[in-house]
Structure 1
Amino acid sequence: MAGSVNQQQAVIYCRVSGAKQVREGDGLASQETRCREYAKYKGYCVLDVFTDDMTGKAASRPGMQSMLGYLHMNASKGSEIVVIIDDISRLARGLTAHLELRQSLAGAGGKLESPSIEFGEDSDSVLVENLLASVAQHQREKNGEQTSNRMKGRMMNGYSVFCAPVGYRYEKTAGHGKLLVRDEPAASIIRKAMEGFASGRFETMAEVKRYLESQPAFPNIDGSIRQQVVTDLFSRVLYAGYIEHEPWGITRRKGHHEALVSLETFERIQARKAERNLAPARTDINADFPLRGAVACADCDAPMTSCWSKSATGKRYPYFWCQTKTCGMYRKSIRAEKIDAAFAEVMHALSPAKGLVGLVKTMLHDAWGQRLAQANTIKETTKRDIAQLDKQLDGLLDRVVESDNPTVLW
């Protein structure tokens, strides 16, 4: 509501340190209430309210920039607009940012006021203001130090303190607080990718990337993931159940969370990453060479790679060959048909031990149970997403129906 012609105009600026405080707290609303009470007491007409949900260390913030633009457009020479803040720390949490914003507000035609402090231009007032801004900066830095020390202590005790990586989520657990737990089905997908690369089933990380992109349940952007995602997955010992963070001097130690792969598998991945990958990435590693990753060189015992070779007549033949340069069988090719036939002979010669059939049935039953659990998880996640979208759609429709603004309908 517009005020009288002679009524002092004002805007309100509120800030909290993060989006979490907006979701779970009432900081912005409380600040606005105090500022409105102050404006009412002073007889000001509040024109607008501007908010930010980010740290006060920096001067450049969306809400602050919007307010400065508003002041530039509406404040006139000789008629300043009062900017009301709840406390000096809401303007900034750093002396440099505070001084910068004070200058920007003055240049835009704003006059700073607060129910908590009286701003003035005399030397004593400026000294007090700068001291309070320095105290706000000290509090921010001290809070940062305390938070960092608590995080370091928790990591030293074997707990992850950073954002949950893909395949995990945080869950409150008795005796542990927030603990990383498996986030299915992504956890099983990552385990298969890491074990496949460690065993040689996936020859290169490019093949792992294609495998992950083929899994609809794995997080992606328009069906694609960046190669850096695979690199990060294979570089985090956290997936092996361990915690470490070199920047804080925290050496590797056993974590309290469940591992997706063994430490041996993780170490094998690191060794394979250090090797030179000679085989090109393939879109399909299963159908053409089903024994790939299981066939080892008879001389060096390293996994053999495989490829198709084209003859002079244009006919293609499948081959296995050793890619270890120091091996005497380096680049010596063996027809895949011979290996497949030898493998079939071995399989025919095998006789299952007593009880093996029952064990295999149990293993297959367990594997099927895991796949079924993954499918059910995907189903439930999809149902929740659909319900959430329906709720948002209903809310938007209600707003359209209840709105008396004709522009909403366009």
Structure 2
Amino acid sequence: MTRDIRQRAVIYCRVSDAKQKIRGDGLGSQETIGREYADRMGYEVVKVFRDDFTGKSANRAGMKELLAFLKGSKGQTIVIVDDLNRLARSLRTHYAIRDAIATAGGKLVSPKREFADDPDDDLLEIIEAAFAGEHRRKNAEQTLNRMRGRAMNGYWVFQAPLGYRYEKAAGGGKALVRVEPMASIIKEGLEGYASGRFDSQAEVKRFFESNPLFPKDRRGLVSNERVHQVLTQPLYAGYLEVPRWKLALREARHEGLISLETFDLIQDRLTGKARAPSRKDINADFPLRGFVACGDCNHPMTATWAKGVGGRYAYYMCRQHECSSKGKSIARAKVEGGLESLIRSLTPSRELVHLASTVFRNLWDRRAKETKEQRAALKLETVAVEKKIGQFLDRIVEAENPTVVSAYENKVGELEREKLILAEKITKCGTPARDYDDVFQTSMAFLANPWNLWETGELEDRRAMLKLVFTGHLTYDRKTGFQTPEISLPFKALEEISGSKKEMVHPRGFEPLASAFGELKQGPRHGSLIYLDLR
């Protein structure tokens, strides 16, 4: 009795990318067709090799495994492919793989065609392989054109940035939508950097790292590159640009987290003059470190813990070599107690807070009534910008020097960006994001008692309070305590109101008070606190 010996075979399957592997069953279908063909031809399938990689390249993991298997096998092994284009999508790659399979001891077969060794079949194989390569190039070109066209219409076509995800759009395709709470975390980081709440990218980095929901690496850190990507991504302003496709900045079809004006302010800060690096030694133990300067040399004081009888003690001190106060420590409790007295001396009376709130409300109402004039002024400004753009375009046509043409093109780009900001302002003109009570309730609460923000115990709140109340460093003298500080404009305005209270009785007294506040704007939030831009 003789035993039926079936010839050994393997199946090779390929799809173009991992998405096709997940979304469809291309690999499974190819394997099923290959097994059916093997049964019909009497082959025994001993192994299946799979790839999810472009057919343009021969450098594929599955193909390498196949060739290694063939080289390690005795005798000839049948290699089944569903179709010739599953082997490769390039004429050069096709013959490189075909020769490699033959050299390794494999014989290529397919249920859809025969591989015969004659001139006619060779010519047909060349034509089919060339057609597969051309089909791949056409597909790639069409896909790229569709992506570019969609981007031109304001839809982002690449990976969704942090804080967004893709959802089906009403007109077809997919569009970016906000993902909470990540979108709000990023918004706070962006507005914090724009407003000066965060002095540097390092402070933005620490803010993100302090939030347990923000993605971090294995060490629990956020990379500097990730922070820079967030700060320079126009998608967060509701705009997009793709320089490699020569697509200039344009309004996108998704909701932004910040305004374009705020985004440009961030870019100005990033490209402005170099700033001192953010201190890494600022911690909750010494929130005044780097903010309080020595009264003798005016250099920022440092801080440390010292061991003494009964435990450890916290001190601030100056370490400047030429300073007469070098190494002379001041108890932390004394310095921070002096700060409390200083802050409480700035706390206005209840009557004054009520008076200031009235002035704010009057200013708010007056600005709301000026909406029509503001919109008209913005439209005139837009016309002027469009005129400048036209002038530069005329110069580009007339210019012959490539350097001059490039300079004009850059200027047109700047003006187009300015035009977008004006359009955004016109759209938002007269439509405040919040009403008066929402905008000013927490701000007036801060002005009424700024020390409350310190008493939260949070380092970020304490540093924010210092920046909101004072315009620069505080100077501390070892003998006399804090020197007279430079306070911020809102507190100066309260002093102005306090000195003008009697004039409030007469209607004409409003204008001098209003002028003390200058231009009233709503600034970015700091947590529940809203910055008042009083310039």
Query: TM-score higher than 0.5 here?
Result: yes
After TM superposition, the structure 1 = structure 2 runs for residues 194-209 of structure 1, keeping only pairs within 5 Å, are 194-209=190-205
How far apart are the structure 1 equivalents of 2:439 and 2:201?
33
CA offset at residue 118 of structure 1?
Answer: 1.2
CA distance 1:361–1:247, change in 2 (3 Å):
closer
- Give, in angstroms, the shift of residue 6 of structure 1: 3.6
Match for residue 112 of structure 2 among 110, 116, 119: 116
Q: CA deviation at 1:227?
A: 1.2
RMSD: 3.1
Give the distance between the partners of 2:230 and 2:245, measured in 1 at CA.
21
SS in 2 for 1:115: coil
**Partner Cα distance (1:14, 1:159) in 2:** 34
Could you tell me which runs of 5 or more consecutive residues in structure 2 were left unpaired when the two chains were aligned. Answer: 292-298, 303-317, 320-324, 362-434, 443-535
Alpha-carbon displacement from aligned partner over 1:99-137 (angstroms, at most 9, x marks no partner): 211121112111110011211232322221121111111
Shift of the alpha carbon at 1:142? Answer: 0.6
Q: Deviations over 1:173-221 (max 9, x none)?
A: 3235311111122211111111111122222212222221222211121
Q: What's the counterpart of residue 348 of structure 2?
A: 348
Residue identity matched to 2:246: G
Contact 1:10 1:46 in 2 (8 A): yes
SS at match of 1:70: helix
Q: After the TM superposition, which residues 23-62 of structure 1 pair with which residues of structure 2 at under 5 Å, given as runs? A: 23-62=22-61
* Cα distance in structure 1, aligned partners of 2:4 and 2:48: 20
Which of 77, 88, 91 pairs up with 1:81?
77
Letter aligned with residue 224 of structure 1: L
- Name 2:274's counterpart in structure 1: 277
Report the CA distance shift for 1:38/1:265 in structure 2 as closer, same or farther (over 3 A): same
User: Which position in structure 1 is the counterpart of 2:18?
Assistant: 19
**Deviation readout 1:37-94 (Å, 9 max, x if unpaired):** 11111111111111111211111111111111111111x3xx3101000001111111
- Does 1:229 find its partner at 2:307? no
Mapped to 2, the partners of 1:197 and 1:121 lie a distance apart of 70
Map 1:331-410 onto structure 2 (within 5 A): 347-348=347-348, 350-352=352-354, 353=357, 359=437
For residues 271 and 328 of structure 2, the distance between their equivalents in structure 1, rounded to whole angstroms, comes to 35
Q: Which of 250, 265, 269 is the matching residue for 1:268?
A: 265
Q: Which residue of 2 aligns with 1:397?
A: none
Distance 1:29 1:155, change over 3 A: same
Tell whether the 8 Å contact from 1:186 to 1:217 is kept in structure 2 after alignment: yes
Does the CA-based 8 Å contact 1:179-1:257 persist in structure 2? Answer: yes
Looking at structure 1, the residues matched to 268 and 40 of structure 2 have their Cα atoms a distance apart, in angstroms, of 71
CA contact (8 A) 1:68 1:108 kept: yes
1:14 match: secondary structure = strand
Tell me the CA shift for residue 146 of structure 1: 0.7
Equivalents in 1 of 2:257, 2:439: separation in Å? Answer: 24
Alignment partner of 1:314 out of 321, 327, 344: 327
Q: How many residues align?
A: 328
Question: Looking at CA atoms only, which structure, 1 or 2, has the larger radius of gyration?
Answer: 2
State how far apart, in whole Å, the 2-side matches of 1:347 and 1:259 are. Answer: 38
Query: For residue 241 of structure 1, what is the aligned residue in structure 2?
Result: 238
* Cα 1:277–1:344 shift into 2, 3 Å: farther
The letter for the 1-side match of 2:12 is Y
1:183 and 2:261 equivalent?
A: no
Pair 226,249 (structure 1): closer, same or farther in 2 beyond 3 Å = same
Spell out, residue by residue over 1:212-266, the C-alpha distance to the aligned partner (whole angstroms, 9 max, x if none).
1222211121212221111111221111000111111111111111101111111
Q: Is 133-142 or 199-208 further displaced after alignment?
A: 199-208
Length-normalised TM-score, structure 2: 0.56
The structural deviation recorded for 1:161 is 0.6
Secondary structure of the structure 1 residue equivalent to 2:353:
coil
Q: 1:316 to 1:162 in 2, by over 3 A?
A: farther
Relative distance call for 1:83 and 1:126 in structure 2 (3 A) is same
State the AA in 2 paired with 1:83: V
Q: Distance in 1 between matches of 2:163 and 2:283?
A: 24
Distance 1:314 1:262 in 2: 48
Gaps of 5+ in 1: 293-305, 318-334, 365-410
Specify the code of the residue in structure 1 equivalent to 2:147.
M
Indicate how the Cα distance of structure 1 residues 307 and 138 shifts in structure 2: closer, same or farther if over 3 A, else same: farther
Structure 1 residue matching 2:348: 3-state secondary structure: helix
**Distance in 2 (alpha carbons) for counterparts of 1:276 and 1:5:** 83
How far residue 361 of structure 1 moved from its aligned partner, in angstroms, is 9.5
CA contact (8 A) 1:95 1:130 kept: yes
Percent of aligned pairs with the same amino acid: 46
CA distance in 1, matches of 2:92, 2:236: 42
Amino acid at match of 2:348: H
Distance 1:209 1:196 in 2: 12
Please say if residues 10 and 84 of structure 1, whose CA atoms lie closer than 8 Å, have aligned partners that are also in contact: yes
What is the SS of the residue equivalent to 1:196?
Answer: helix
Compared CA separation, residues 315 and 266, structure 1 to 2 (3 A): farther
Instruction: Give yes or no for contact 1:203–1:279 (8 Å, CA) kept in 2.
Output: no
- For 1:315 and 1:230, the matched residues in 2 are separated by 39
Instruction: Determine if the alignment matches structure 1 residue 213 to structure 2 residue 213.
Output: no
Does the aligned pair in 2 maintain the 1:7–1:45 contact within 8 Å?
A: yes
Distance verdict in 2 for CA 1:338–1:145, change over 3 Å: farther
**Cα-to-partner distance string for 1:290-320 (whole Å, 9 max, x where unaligned):** 9x8xxxxxxxxxxxxx954525432579xxx
Choose from 144, 151, 157 the match for 1:148.
144
Distance change (3 Å), C-alpha of 1:264 and 1:7: same
